[in-house]
Structure 1
């Protein structure tokens, strides 16, 4: 694992302590998949490392939510990535002390904060967060990480793919040639991560965190990019041979897959272009368990929420109600259509319920789905 960029393993002593728990896990008949926007981004590089090592309250609250749900595999979005992966290792250690042990992780580089050297937003400056390949104040800002109880195998990443190379790209027609020549599709990255299942075989976790379809102008640049970032999943699931960052051009493997992502798009409400998302939710290789929670129903009242068309119990983000956008469904766990779903939910405790305050450490809620292993 050490020779794979973005990978991390616990110490030998911690790994030895896992033997019993891994033996028990290997006997399990179900696999709990989850995605969780943990809101662990900071304005300065290295700040999150300090917060984790100090065990600040938001870190412990996020850990408490993870410990309660205890997913086998979880994608963490909006978690700053430092070069030595110290923040991630520190979070793994906190979780291990609470009995939730993840011996395997992956946290590859992201486009957020990687400056283009161009004035992408036309404000006369070239080093603002808006001028990066993905919005960010420094490289690794608002990154992604995958935690797993099972071994992580080869990972294909597609961070370097250009937006203008996408078939039928929705990149604005007025975009200058120098921007088209360097602008990447992924605002963070797109990943295909192999997970070795305890019963044998490999689960391919497809992960991404597209840009929000807001914070732009009349050309709807972010909305267009969000739609194309989501459409990447459709193309890959359709069998299109994709060129990855290592230079390999190949289609998605035929084994079971699962999409784990904060897609920043709701199928009914908000400002996203919904075509790509609806295609993904109905893709024949996937199924949408449509996880729900009582907490979302209680929170989804008032302001912009009252005009929403989508079911409130499926919301996963607790956003500003007045003037909007209100609460939306933006976080997804979409397992392979060939797997049997045995449970699903959004961890959104109702007021006064245990861990209600801890869940509010992020403006997103953890989404989980249980599937029977093949």
Structure 2
């Protein structure tokens, strides 16, 4: 912006005082204050295992290579808040604590350790037996017939790590909200138009395949609601497209929650209500839905990306674009720019997609937005790698995950006081990962019972969080980077070059000259 040069000339009578000169009005309205810059990330780290307790075994020592790779990825980004998807849940929260102590707090390949005094994890629907034949194949068995696909309760759970305090008594979860209670729910149907699920099944059927969690984090007095979820993949079904429709409505839950349209929602403590209209939030997770490619129902993720309350910073990478070109398959047929891809799926049928999201509220200032996907000539490519041998074509496991970490650097509008939200019952027992000292450990929840149904609301207590140490940490410096692509809402103040204001008292008069120069 070019600043005007102002000249003021006046003969001042004796005793007249000039106190100040008001600068010219800027082109933009003066914005409000913001929080410090935060790095916020989501990462489907594939820290899930094939049987209950196996992840605990792998994390008990610090030598599991895949866990080391996941930890190094997080250390390279150094987020202040991160959601880790596909992290098996255990009722004592030992896995969340072991990953923190044995991996995140230990340098991996020279990367600086990262400490998270605040952790949240809670029970999920994956692997919890329904007692029904949900896929209508004539058998009741693990996997498809669980309330969320999984072989044991807690498989494919998630955990949130934070450098800032989590408000334990304000966490809301929607694990037990029933699908049929969503107005206009896309309940699947048989070919003849009859319901896919029997009345006794749908009466107990939870919408969330894992859980939906609203986790308020206190950023030096400003509350940011971390909205964490992991909707079911819109695949692995039949003509009834039951998983596509469930994925759509799982995404819709957050769209309604942030827009005020979700007055029908009740959380796991029986509280109703949506997020206040002035609340800061960031939607995190693997939503298994690409805006234009893939198999999602009716471009389900656009319910969030086109929501007037949501800012899409469009994180990108050079590695995603490179892999799309090198891997071929169906990737060249995709409509979206591959630099936005966040997952490396099979090239023959699905291809690489954008399915992992970090979406803050409008009014936030995004300074950078990236997908952690190094190019093949980058030393860090060893953390993402390939799932097949480039020489033989033989299938091999990814070094870490088929998903890529996604992160943004962001400032949120500061609040004078915390935004109120419904307070769960003080009987809530699912808490943050316990501290090593048993005397200070918060109470732990019971694992979801492998019963034949999810209790009707208000069901089991909502997971909450508490600090695992008594100190509130000073946030570590976040990684730097270039400005994020795409149009970003701005609330920062432009720097103005101003000269000092002069005041002159002259008995016989004076001449005042004030100039504002270009900086």
CA contact (8 A) 1:267 1:274 kept: no
State how 1:238-249 maps to structure 2 within 5 Å: 238-239=259-260, 240-241=262-263, 242-249=265-272
Q: How large is the Cα RMSD of the aligned pairs?
A: 1.3
State how 1:128-143 maps to structure 2 within 5 Å: 128-143=142-157
- For the residues of structure 2 that align with 1:152 and 1:56, how far apart are their CA atoms? 29
- For the residues of structure 2 that align with 1:352 and 1:88, how far apart are their CA atoms? 33
CA contact (8 A) 2:38 2:80 kept: yes
Runs of 4+ in structure 1 over 4 Å off: none
CA contact (8 A) 2:214 2:225 kept: yes
1:332 is aligned to 2:339:
no
- What 5-or-longer segments of structure 2 have no aligned partner? 1-33, 108-112, 190-194, 386-399, 414-519
State how 1:1-374 maps to structure 2 within 5 Å: 29-54=36-61, 55-93=63-101, 94-98=103-107, 99-153=113-167, 154-173=170-189, 174=195, 175-198=197-220, 200-239=221-260, 240-241=262-263, 242-253=265-276, 254-301=278-325, 302-322=328-348, 324-360=349-385, 361-374=400-413
Larger RCO, structures 1/2 (Cα 8 Å, 6+ apart):
2
Tell me the alpha carbon deviations over residues 71-124 of structure 1, each in whole angstroms, 9 at most, x when there is no partner.
Answer: 110111011111211111111112123320001010111000011100111223
Question: Larger helix proportion, structure 1 or 2?
Answer: 1
CA contact (8 A) 2:251 2:303 kept: no
Q: In the TM superposition, what is the alpha-carbon distance from 1:352 to its structure 2 partner?
A: 3.1
SS in 2 for 1:131: coil
Q: In the TM superposition, what is the alpha-carbon distance from 1:373 to its structure 2 partner?
A: 3.7
- 233-242 or 141-150: which moved more? 233-242
SS in 2 for 1:261: strand
- For the residues of structure 1 that align with 2:251 and 2:70, how far apart are their CA atoms? 27
SS in 1 for 2:358: strand
Tell me the alpha carbon deviations over residues 313-364 of structure 1, each in whole angstroms, 9 at most, x when there is no partner.
Answer: 0000001101x20000000000111111100100001113122112341000
Q: In the TM superposition, what is the alpha-carbon distance from 1:275 to its structure 2 partner?
A: 4.0
Q: In the TM superposition, what is the alpha-carbon distance from 1:28 to its structure 2 partner?
A: 8.2
CA contact (8 A) 1:212 1:223 kept: yes
